[in-house]
Structure 1
């Protein structure tokens, strides 16, 4: 989930992939000038050092795109696994056939290139290697290669694309290729090859960026760590809290064994509570940022690092919240099928029969239950819409105003509906002291705290006088302040 219309801030230099849809032909539409350039490249021979999975997959993709491919190998005779149509020569002979060489070998095997240093003079050497862990070496592989072969023009690229992605096509995997290097002409040549393959090249600057480019594919869900930590912490907290209230308290006070609630009842209290809190955490940084801009009177100051990182992972927080909400829906659907629920209803009916009495219709409780279910259904429906529009294939088909309306306007409506749904569940129970086991409030009260704060702050922000001021600041207006007798803007 993302918040449209709030003051978002992106860290400079971050390598955040931007997914885009590729047509069924796996080719990107180019202008006539680029098409003529491609025709010139069609007969160009590309050399590949390395006959492993990546080298073979790259060779297949290049051959399908119309390039001539020559592999450099220590044993040219042992070439049964290489794609048909590609030449297989020794390293020295292969270098004579091409000016662009893709190096698909590990850093530990770079030494064989020293004997070929003279043949690499002025040629473009594309380093596609990755390491086993982040910052494994003092310098990046590309920088080490540039020091090892000063006569070659080293370009870092294609390390973010897997062999599977090259074989399956960009429709089945990320199509982005990060490119960096010190020679702009050589970088452009490599980027043109990427475009020819139907990939999306992204220029990351000089070879100094190679370290960040090499670390990127080694990161394990970097934007998901904070959401996972928060959701795991909340899950453990509400589990222990519910066990204390629902199992330990009845056992100590009444000698009741309610351990069966560990399977359904307690999880069905954990999931909605965590989901509602995470949903509130999606929109809380946006309102904090708005008040911070109001306080500063400008949008041209960086947010604190903690707020910046928080805002960057709002989408992940929202998706985790959606997953917990989905679990809550499924657990709620099986409640009537439980044996304990059937037994409870049967005992109630038997007790009423023995007393020969009936329960009067209470319109307040009828309205409450219907409003409870209606708000839940509507809230989850809008929540599903937020989740769908967060998909890149859907969001790319929307303009900014549409995306902002769904993610911001309807997002706050979702927070409101889900909070109302939770409030109707509790109704007036929070006023009953008997509900506070050992003085502890019910879990639904705890889950409503952050969403209520978000709604209260948002209510202030949508007031006309405040909204006009926020809009002016985000359009570039700055508050003038006196400092040492001068007016600073």
Structure 2
């Protein structure tokens, strides 16, 4: 397709309140001065770049702002969303970054974002548009973070269990080839199980913390801490890695025959629920947003609760025995021992009802009184 770009263009008729600029990114480089926009108009720039902008260079939005008439407000946003996110067919609520030099114009765009069913994240003035424009061009940013967390956790647990095996049983075992291989595969099995339980528990904590923040503040219309937003974004990326570790643990348990029969039912059902949770992340699953959130929450919490039960039943002797180095299982139950009790008050009917009201848009003055 050929694009014909004039040096000076009349972008919109006079009197328009909001102009959405959605053109190929490379055409902005050929634009001259833009005329025909009355003062007070908001220009919403949703264009995307072709290449990552290097540090120190002006973004497309910054260049565009220099071509707009005086009194026109430019806001950069929506360029991180797919067409499915704009039409509502993705059934996924996303954090949408925006930036601009006018607070009034940004508040107007925030309303548009909320009407589309997403959450706005204010990045500040227009200089932050460089970061926003680079977001769609970065390859697997969250996947790299999730993989780093997953691998680091596994390696730490593997190292702890290997040191424990060497130090705490020194002089008690004969280290021949079979014993070394059995110890190696047992350590891999234990590290995979411990990592899966820790990460599954960690993936459920953000929603619990978010619900408590909503209860205390009485509204969902607030800026969540950046660390909590990023933690919550990592949840969906951690789940496939948790499933992989669970598969490794299950197969090694069969071949090494180190499992306890009393713990098998809880472990198998937890594994099935985890598979269903990961399947819910696939775009081919056509459920409403309410249905998806309900199934995801219930199945993931049941999987965590059953995995915790499985660990306690399978390794009760390791959990109650103190050695020179804590076992993987003693370490892995610490986080779920905090996250599960912390979530219990939130499932009480009168508290859950209030949380759901807040998530549906109700605003309260505090924990008890509605405005």
TM-score normalized with structure 1 length: 0.50
Q: In the TM superposition, what is the alpha-carbon distance from 1:407 to its structure 2 partner?
A: 0.4
Q: Is the 8 A contact 1:48 1:104 kept in 2?
A: no
Is the aligned partner of 1:328 residue 2:249?
yes
Higher Rg of the two aligned structures: 1
CA 1:426/1:138 → structure 2, altered by over 3 Å: closer, same or farther?
A: same
> 1:294-333 to 2 correspondence within 5 Å?
294-333=215-254
SS of match in other structure, 1:135 = coil
Q: Is the 8 A contact 1:268 1:328 kept in 2?
A: yes
CA 1:256/1:474 → structure 2, altered by over 3 Å: closer, same or farther?
A: same
CA distance in structure 2 between the aligned counterparts of 1:300 and 1:129, rounded to whole angstroms: 31
Counterpart in the other structure of 1:202: none
CA distance in structure 2 between the aligned counterparts of 1:290 and 1:399, rounded to whole angstroms: 21
CA distance in structure 2 between the aligned counterparts of 1:103 and 1:221, rounded to whole angstroms: 22
Counterpart in the other structure of 1:382: 273
CA distance in structure 1 between the aligned counterparts of 2:210 and 2:172, rounded to whole angstroms: 47
CA distance in structure 2 between the aligned counterparts of 1:303 and 1:210, rounded to whole angstroms: 20
CA distance in structure 2 between the aligned counterparts of 1:144 and 1:474, rounded to whole angstroms: 38
Counterpart in the other structure of 2:289: 400
Is the aligned partner of 1:431 residue 2:320?
yes
* Residue number among 416, 420, 426 corresponding to 2:309 in the alignment: 420
Is the aligned partner of 1:461 residue 2:346?
yes
Unaligned runs of 5+ in 1: 1-45, 50-100, 118-126, 149-155, 161-206, 342-367, 482-486
* Residue number among 186, 210, 229 corresponding to 2:148 in the alignment: 229
Unaligned runs of 5+ in 2: 5-22, 33-46, 68-75, 81-125
SS of match in other structure, 2:265 = helix
Counterpart in the other structure of 1:266: 187
CA distance in structure 2 between the aligned counterparts of 1:474 and 1:128, rounded to whole angstroms: 31
SS of match in other structure, 1:398 = coil
CA 1:235/1:134 → structure 2, altered by over 3 Å: closer, same or farther?
A: farther
Q: In the TM superposition, what is the alpha-carbon distance from 1:373 to its structure 2 partner?
A: 1.2
CA 1:386/1:212 → structure 2, altered by over 3 Å: closer, same or farther?
A: same
CA 1:428/1:463 → structure 2, altered by over 3 Å: closer, same or farther?
A: farther
CA 1:220/1:263 → structure 2, altered by over 3 Å: closer, same or farther?
A: farther
SS of match in other structure, 1:391 = coil
CA 1:400/1:371 → structure 2, altered by over 3 Å: closer, same or farther?
A: farther
* Residue number among 188, 194, 199 corresponding to 1:278 in the alignment: 199
SS of match in other structure, 2:331 = helix
> 1:60-71 to 2 correspondence within 5 Å?
none
Greater relative contact order: 1 or 2 (C-alpha under 8 angstroms, separation 6 or more)? 1
Q: In the TM superposition, what is the alpha-carbon distance from 1:232 to its structure 2 partner?
A: 2.5
* Total equivalences in the alignment: 301
Q: Is the 8 A contact 2:363 2:370 kept in 1?
A: no
CA distance in structure 1 between the aligned counterparts of 2:358 and 2:65, rounded to whole angstroms: 47
